[in-house]
């Protein structure tokens, strides 16, 4: 009987510890001290994201808006910064510089066995609160696909995957301060 009571108290202690940890995390997140995404926005209140022009040799309609909207959505979801028109405490601007597909590997019959689809985006990030965190960098991501498939058959899915990776890279470089 004493063992059962002791186990109940041990479980209670673990539950209390978990509850206290959860409350502490919620308080820190609510105060803006900590972000579950790892994003550091200390001293920042607003973010502005300019339209990303498509300057690639192949212009895919809608890609500029898709990238711009994806970055806005990421900032809304992962930070408490207000999105503003004009210039915010931090500002993103940029352009799509590459949208290509190239043969990657060659099969025995001298035909491409797989192709590489690449999207590159040049980004200028300006932090007016801490200019040392500002940067200008080109981000590039790719996906490989079977050369038996026509690009138009896989382009939408590959573009979505690549843009998701690009936005993650851009966001991390800006707010998590990971050098890529």
Please say if the pLDDT value at position 37 is more than 50: no
Residue with tokens 């991390």: 172
Please say if the pLDDT value at position 154 is more than 50: yes
Structure tokens at 90: 């931090």
The larger pLDDT score, comparing residue 10 to residue 53, is at: 53
User: What is residue 107's predicted lDDT score, i.e. its pLDDT?
Assistant: 66
User: What is residue 33's predicted lDDT score, i.e. its pLDDT?
Assistant: 44
The 10 Å Cβ neighbour count of residue 36 is 9
Residue with tokens 């539950």: 15
Please say if the pLDDT value at position 130 is more than 70: yes
Please say if the pLDDT value at position 21 is more than 80: no
Q: 44-74: buried (b, 16+ CB within 10 Å) or exposed (e) per residue?
A: beebbbbebebebeeeeeebbebbbbbbbeb
CB 122 within 8 A of CB 107: no
Check residue 17 and give left, alpha or beta (phi > 0: left; psi -120 to 50: alpha). Answer: alpha
Instruction: Name, in order, each residue with C-beta under 8 angstroms of 84's C-beta and a sequence gap of 6 or more.
Output: 46, 47, 48
Residue 135, SS3 per DSSP: strand
**What's the pTM value of the predicted model, to 2 decimals?**
0.75
Element (H, E) at 2: helix 2-30
């Amino acid at each position: 009987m004493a063992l059962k009571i002791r186990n109940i108290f041990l479980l209670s202690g673990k539950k209390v510890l978990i509850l206290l940890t959860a409350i502490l995390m919620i308080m820190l997140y609510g105060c803006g001290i900590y972000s579950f995404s790892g994003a550091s926005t200390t001293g920042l209140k607003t973010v502005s994201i300019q339209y990303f022009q498509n300057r690639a040799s192949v212009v895919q309609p809608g890609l500029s808006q898709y990238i711009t909207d994806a970055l806005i959505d990421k900032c809304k979801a992962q930070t408490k910064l207000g999105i503003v028109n004009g210039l915010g405490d931090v500002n993103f601007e940029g352009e799509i510089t590459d949208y290509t597909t190239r043969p990657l590997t060659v099969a025995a019959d001298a035909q491409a066995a797989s192709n590489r689809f690449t999207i590159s985006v040049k980004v200028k990030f300006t932090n007016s609160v801490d200019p040392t965190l500002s940067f200008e960098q080109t981000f590039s991501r790719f996906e490989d696909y079977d050369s038996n498939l026509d690009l138009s058959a896989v382009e939408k899915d590959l573009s979505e995957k690549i843009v998701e990776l690009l936005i993650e890279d851009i966001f991390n470089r800006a707010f998590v301060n990971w050098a890529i």
